[in-house]
Amino acid sequence: MHIQHTTQRLVKQLSEVIRSLKPAEYQLPLEVLSGSSVGQHVRHILEFYLQLISGSMAGEINYDLRKRNAELETDPESALDCLMQIELWVLQTSAHTPLILHFSYDAQGNAGGQVTTNIGRELVYNIEHTVHHMALLKIGIRVINQNFIFPENFGIATSTVRHLDYVHREFSSTR
């Protein structure tokens, strides 16, 4: 299934980047990220997956109930362990498993609702969410180290990669 392999690819890319950072770089608050650190963005990504894993067991998911585990944002090894857990889970789960997604969009959390979904749809959401935060991570890490080498297409949506490949092929064929 493509969404499982895409998730696995993103996990591997994110793991590679985390391993390439010093703990101090992982924890450093960055003005370009509104004072957040690389680790805080990684934690945010991971906790969405952790909510999905937990929700898959209960049949219900609510991304608003994330734990906000400080260890994931300050300890790169904890984040790497969590990524391994996510990778193992995604390869063993069924995308067709139904879920109820709980949500609330008012500031007090009172006016909410729920919709039916499934693990596959939530993996798609998490993939898009992850790529978005990886793009932000790329901006932050470039502030720390302009010469940092990222995995190919890190933080770039697959549709954008396809578009850029198409543009490149078209430009190359007109030369």
Pair of tokens at residue 15:
């793991």
Residue 168 is predicted with a pLDDT of 64
Pair of tokens at residue 13:
């890319």
Angle at the Cα of 87 (from 53 to 12), degrees rounded to 5? Answer: 135
Greatest Cα pair distance, the chain, in angstroms, is 59
List, for the chain, all residue ranges whose pLDDT scores fall below the cut of 70. 1, 109, 165-175
The domain spans of the chain are: 2-173
Residue 107 is predicted with a pLDDT of 80
pTM: 0.90
**Strand pairing class (98-104; 112-118):** antiparallel
Angle at the Cα of 6 (from 89 to 172), degrees rounded to 5? Answer: 170
The closest alpha carbon to 83, from 71, 95, 72, belongs to 72
Residue 1 is predicted with a pLDDT of 47
CATH class in words for 2-173? mainly alpha
DSSP string, 37-98: -HHHHHHHHHHHHHHHHHHHHHTEE-GGG----HHHHH-HHHHHHHHHHHHHHHHHS-TT-E
Residue 133 is predicted with a pLDDT of 97
